[in-house]
Amino acid sequence: MRTTHVCFVGPRTEHSDEIVHLFRDVLGMSVAFENPEWSGFSLAVGRRDFVEVFSGDERDVRLFPLDAGSASGPTLAAAIYRRSIRSI
């Protein structure tokens, strides 16, 4: 399998302000949306492809299930290209 591109990546962190600063002010990424719990930055590869940063307070159970507790970590969606393997 080979990943062709990442269409979404969204880390949840207690340091969301610093990460937003990095993406916006240091890397120059375009802000798609911004609010207190999460911010999104547009990627050049597609109209609906984003890097999103979630604060440690974000509790969207679709992304961070309740049984995950307060654990932080990346959430990732990817477009996958499946390469076939021929028998020799």
Check residue 68 and report its DSSP letter.
G
pLDDT digits (tens, 9 = 90+) for 47-67: 778 888 888 777 676 666 666
Do residues 59 and 12 lie in contact, with contact meaning Cβ atoms separated by under 8 Å?
Answer: no
Q: Where are the domains of the chain?
A: 2-81
The angle at the Cα of 7, spanning 48 to 72, to the nearest 5 degrees, equals: 110
Q: Which two tokens stand for residue 39?
A: 């911010």
Q: Flag whether the pTM goes above 0.85.
A: no
CATH of 2-81, one of 3.10.180.10, 3.30.1490.20, 3.40.630.10, 3.30.2290.10: 3.10.180.10
pLDDT at 25: 94
